[in-house]
Amino acid sequence: MFEYINIKLAKTKGSKKLRKLIRKLKNFFGEKDPGALDFKFSTKPSRLFIVQSFINKKKFNSYLEIGTFDNELFDHIKCKNKVGVDPFSGGTHRMTSDEFFLQNRDKFDCIFIDGLHHYDQVKRDINNSLKFINDQGIVLVHDCLPENIEAQSVPRTITNWNGDVWKAFAEIRANPNLDSYTCLADHGIGVIFKSSNKKPFNFKIKNFKKLKFLDYYKNHYEMMNIIEYEDLIKII
Ligand SMILES: C[S@@+](CC[C@H](N)C(=O)[O-])C[C@H]1O[C@@H](n2cnc3c(N)ncnc32)[C@H](O)[C@@H]1O
């Protein structure tokens, strides 16, 4: 019931007052806030630097970005074939990621997922990307490391928001057939390779959508397999 009211309120073209009210309701009825994390992202490389370095090192020829917004990343990526999908702005295809994957026949070397930041959508985007990624390719997932409970709470109530992308990536961390890491940079960049998982995390839960922020808060290093860029680039 609370979630229903929450969604209805969030859809009411959120004034600051409404967002504040939602936050208060959540604080009262929802999960208790365990505190904030500080990943010091301002001292780490940008997503542009990281994605471009993977493309250069692996000599990738094709790049797909899901969710392009104002092309802040898309326009600056240098790669032979670039495709960008967004229902509202930027990129090359004006449609949702689901619509894109339904009609797509191409394979890609690198896919950057940064569309709708809701668990169910991110999970679909990851699964679809894995169908269209070349065997030696890399699937990247933006916004895997929220720094506080509000930043990951759905529906969105704050501007700097990561959504519950981390839950979809946590599910990948449990998959024995996919090797997965989270680069400690730019809100957390999840990295997925089509090879066996070198360090799977043992979750005690089957429905990953039900994971609590507290689980992540306590276990984020092992759960997300956090790695510095300098170490990640060595294994790419
Ligand atoms: C965080 S922005 C992307 C930022 C961009 N990737 C960058 O690095 O600068 C998220 C974008 O996802 C788009 N989006 C929302 N729902 C989507 C969907 N179902 N499929 C694809 N894109 C979606 C939004 O329109 C928005 O432009």
- Residue whose Cα lies nearest atom 14 of ligand 1: it is 115
Please report, as a single letter, which amino acid is at residue 191.
V
Q: Which atom of ligand 1 is nearest to the CA of 115?
A: 12
Domain range summary for the chain, segments of one domain joined by +: 1-30, 37-235
Phi then psi for 138, rounded to 5 degrees? -130, 130
37-235, what's its fold? Answer: Rossmann fold (3.40.50)
pTM score, whole prediction: 0.92
Report how far residue 204's alpha carbon sits from residue 216's, in angstroms, rounded to the nearest whole number. 13
- Local confidence pLDDT in tens for the 236 residues of the chain: 344 444 444 444 457 787 778 777 777 778 999 999 999 999 999 999 999 999 999 999 999 999 999 999 999 999 999 999 999 999 999 999 999 999 999 999 999 999 999 999 999 999 999 999 999 999 999 999 999 999 999 999 999 999 999 999 999 999 999 999 999 999 999 999 999 999 999 999 999 999 999 999 999 999 999 999 999 999 99
DSSP state, 224? H
- Give 133's strand partners: 108
- The response to whether residue 128 sits with its C-beta less than 6 Å from ligand 1 reads no
- Residue whose Cα lies nearest atom 23 of ligand 1: it is 115
List Cβ neighbours of 181 (8 Å cut-off, separation of 6 or more): 190, 191, 225, 226, 227, 232
